Amino acid sequence: MTHTTFQVGRLRCHALEAGSQALDGGAMFGVVPKPLWERRIPADERNRIPLALRCLLVEHDDGLVLIDTGIGNKEDAKFRDIYGVRNDGREGRTLLEDGLAEVGRRPEDVDWVINTHLHFDHAGGNTYRDPAGAIALSFPRARFVVQQGDLEFARHTNERTAASYLPHNFATVPFQAIDGETELLPGVRCLPTPGHVPFHQSVLVESAGERVCFLADLVPTSAHLSLPWIMGYDLEPLVTLESKRELYRRAEADGWLLFFEHDPTVVAGRLGREGKGFGLVEALRAG
C-alpha cells in the first residue's frame, strides 16, 4: 500500500508514498545533540536516518492538485546509494506512479503540481528520463507552480546550494511562478515559510472549516516539531524559527492538521502542547 486517504471537509486527499531516502542524522537535526534526536529516529551504521518522500494529492473541484513530486527516476546508482533512495515501483514505474494508480489516477490526470521548493527530493518527479534518455514532463497536462524567488534561486546556485538544485528537475518545466502568499484555487493557499531556503513555501488546503497544511521542509518530520529543532541543511535557521512560530500560532488557533513530508511513519497530526513545547495529537500513520 503506497497511499493513505483522508478527508478535509469536502475534499478527498491522498498521502502518496513516493519512496524513501536516508540522510545524515546530524545534518537533519543541526545543533541538537545525537543522544536526543536518536531517541526519536535511530540512525543506521552510516549515521543516516530514514525519511519518507510523501506527496499530497487533493481531489479539488477545479482539478487534481499534487503537492511535491519526490525524487523521480533520473539519478544514477552512486547518487541513489549516497542518499539511500528507494523509490522503484512496479513494471518500471516509480512509487509515486504506483500511488496514483492505487487511487485510480494517472500522471495525465493531474491538473496542478505545486512545488514547495525545487530541491531534488521535492521536485525530482517533475520530469522523468524516458527509455531513450530524453527528459520529459511527468505530468504533461499540469500547470506547475513554484515561488518566483525559488525559481530564480535555483537558477543561480553557489557552492552551498548546487548539490540540491539539479537543473534537470526544473529547467524545462513551464512554471506558473507566484510571488508571496497566493490563493491558487479556492481553498488552496501557498504560504511563504522561509528559512530552509529563502523562498520556501508550505501549502494550506481548506474545505468546510477544516484545514491541512503541507509543511514540507519547514517541519520535515514530527521529531522536528520543537521550535529550536531545525535542520543543519537550513540556510537561514533563525528565519525558520520565526516561520515555525508564526505557523504554529495559526495552526493551534484553527486546529490545522499538519502534514509531514519526510516522517517515516507519521503522515499527519494536530498540534498539541507538551509542557513548554509542542507535540502531536490525533496522529495519522502511514498504511
Long-range contacts of 106-109 (CB under 8 A, 24+ apart): 107/138, 107/139, 107/140, 108/139, 108/140, 108/141, 109/64, 109/141
- DSSP tag of 250: H
Domain assignments of the chain as residue spans, ordered by start? 3-285
Where in 40-171 does DSSP place strands (E)? 48-60, 63-67, 110-114, 127-129, 135-137, 143-147
Cell of 228: 529550536
pLDDT tens sequence across 50-60:
999 999 999 99
Q: What is the mean pLDDT of the chain?
A: 96
CA 22 from chain centre, in angstroms, equals 15
pTM summary value: 0.97
pLDDT tens sequence across 231-278:
999 999 999 999 999 999 999 999 999 999 999 999 999 998 878 888
Mean pLDDT value across residues 196-219 = 98
Helix residue ranges, H only, 226-271? 237-254
> Alpha-carbon distance 111 to 141, whole Å?
6
Tell me the pLDDT band of 112, cut-offs 50, 70 and 90.
very high
Tell me the pLDDT band of 1, cut-offs 50, 70 and 90.
low
Regarding the domain with residue range 3-285, which homologous superfamily does it belong to in the CATH classification? Ribonuclease Z/Hydroxyacylglutathione hydrolase-like (3.60.15.10)
Per the listing, cell 520529459 goes with 136
